[in-house]
């Protein structure tokens, strides 16, 4: 089993679109202005919703959140410094860096809505990195 999708909530979908597509580099799946923007994230999906729209759903269960959420993207350990440079070059401040006792180092930034976005190797959870094909 793996996570199929995860979602974050933002009040500015256009800023989220630019951040996750243009800076993080996630492929866009769909964008419905004033409701959501969805991205492919490896084998899963990152859903970004405007909670003002989804809190009043009628077809699906109403949902939304207030305050910062968190998403972590799995990146190879050898690419962490490259991600740090890429993010800083785009004007994104590194909020924190952490070296984990079980191995691996994470970097943290905030998206335009204040959500915590982590870039970390799978080793922080004891998961073996896949060898490139």
CA 109 to chain centroid: 10
Dihedral angle computed from the Cα positions of residues 42, 121, 107 and 14, in that order, rounded to the nearest 10 degrees: 0
Of 56, 80, 55, 73, which Cα lies nearest the Cα of 65?
55
Collapsed DSSP state (helix, strand, coil) of residue 12: coil
Q: How do residues 30-83 score in pLDDT, each as one tens digit?
A: 999 999 999 999 999 999 999 999 998 888 888 888 889 999 999 999 999 999
pLDDT value, residue 86: 97
Residues composing the chain: 133
Beta carbons of 118 and 70 less than 8 angstroms apart = yes
Collapsed DSSP state (helix, strand, coil) of residue 124: helix
pLDDT value, residue 132: 55
pLDDT value, residue 127: 86
The residue-averaged pLDDT of 12-39 equals: 97
Average model confidence (pLDDT) for the chain?
93
pLDDT value, residue 117: 98
Q: Give the domains, in start order, of the chain with CATH numbers.
A: 5-125 (3.10.180.10)
User: Using CA atoms, how far apart are residues 87 and 36, in angstroms rounded to an integer?
Assistant: 24
Containing 17, the helix (H) or strand (E) segment is: helix 13-17
pLDDT value, residue 79: 96
Tokens of 90: 């785009």
- Sequence-separated (6 or more) residues with CB below 8 Å from residue 97: 84, 105, 106, 107, 108
Residue 133 has pLDDT above 70, yes or no: no
pTM for this model (two decimals): 0.92
pLDDT value, residue 60: 86
């Amino acid at each position: 089993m793996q996570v199929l999708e995860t979602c974050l909530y933002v009040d500015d979908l256009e800023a989220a679109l630019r951040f996750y597509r243009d800076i993080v580099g996630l492929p866009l799946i769909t964008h419905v202005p004033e409701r959501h923007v969805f991205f492919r994230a490896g084998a899963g999906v990152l859903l970004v919703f405007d909670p003002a729209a989804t809190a009043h759903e009628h077809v699906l269960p109403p949902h939304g959140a207030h305050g910062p959420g968190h998403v972590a993207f799995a990146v190879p350990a050898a690419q962490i410094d490259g991600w740090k440079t890429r993010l800083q070059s785009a004007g994104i401040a590194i909020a924190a860096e952490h070296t984990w006792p079980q191995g691996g180092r994470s970097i943290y930034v905030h998206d335009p809505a204040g959500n915590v976005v982590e870039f970390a190797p799978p080793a922080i959870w004891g998961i073996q990195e896949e060898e490139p094909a």
